[in-house]
Amino acid sequence: MTSQFQTFLTAAMRRPGVIGAVAPSSPGLADLLAAITPSTGSPTVVELGPGTGAVTAAIQRRLPATGSHVAVEIDQAMVRFLKSAHPGVEVVHGDAASLTDLGVKADAVVSGLPWALFQPARQRRILDQIAAVLRPDGAFTTFAYRHAGAMSGARSFHRLLHAVFDEVIVSHTVWRNMPASPDLRVQKAVSCAVA
């Protein structure tokens, strides 16, 4: 078992209502989420809920050397892991619901948060924070578990996306998100744009 997977599994077992997944994102999902990362200029990318860094690595591959990458993680053990595994990333131990406290303006926000597990008020607070830090031409992307679509939290999140953002685009499904059990983690990415 790799140290990345072991760190992830330990955190998920310790705080399942916060982590909300059984394994790190696959390379296919990570690349799809990171696709909104600008590859030129000096962009700022904010990543929410990076876990052990599967998507972090994909963002780093796209981000130009002049860009900055801020990763906000609520789990202290994952913060330590990320700082060690991705020394070029500014890793912040914090809550996405307080995103504006960072004082950054983002060209892109990439989220790995377990939206379906959050109450609607928390979902709205985080989405409002994302909209507040995005530049006018910025983009936000996240993913949802296809099998969780019937959950009240997932339905609420879908409605809130349309309430907060002017444009919501749903991607194709990433069927092979978890190599060992592709049928367990069927996901779609959602990209949103602000006015």
Tokens of 139: 């983009």
- pTM, whole model, 2 decimals? 0.80
pLDDT in tens, the chain (195 residues): 456 555 544 554 444 554 455 455 677 888 989 999 999 999 999 999 998 898 999 999 999 999 999 999 999 999 999 999 999 999 999 999 999 999 999 999 999 998 888 999 999 999 999 999 999 999 999 887 765 565 677 888 889 998 998 888 887 676 665 443 333 233 334 555 443
Output the pLDDT for position 46: 98
Residue 9 sits in a domain of what CATH number? 3.40.50.150
Q: Which residues are bridge partners to 108 per DSSP?
A: 45, 139
Per-residue model confidence (pLDDT) at position 100: 97
The Cα 62–Cα 1 span in angstroms is: 28
What is the number of structural domains in the chain? 1
> Which element (helix H / strand E) includes 61?
helix 54-62
Beta carbons of 58 and 30 less than 8 angstroms apart: yes
- Domain around 114: 3-193
> Which pair of tokens denotes residue 101?
């406290």
CA dist., res. 89 & res. 159, Å (int):
32
As beta bridge partners, residue 190 has 142, 170
Residue whose pair of structure tokens reads 């202290």 in the numeric block: 76
Closest CA to 127 of 107, 156, 90, 93: 156
Are β-strands 134-145 and 106-111 bridged in parallel, bridged antiparallel, or unpaired?
A: parallel
Output the pLDDT for position 26: 73
What are the b/e assignments for 136-173, b being 16+ CB within 10 Å?
eebbbbbbbbeebeeeebbebbbebbeebbeeeeebee
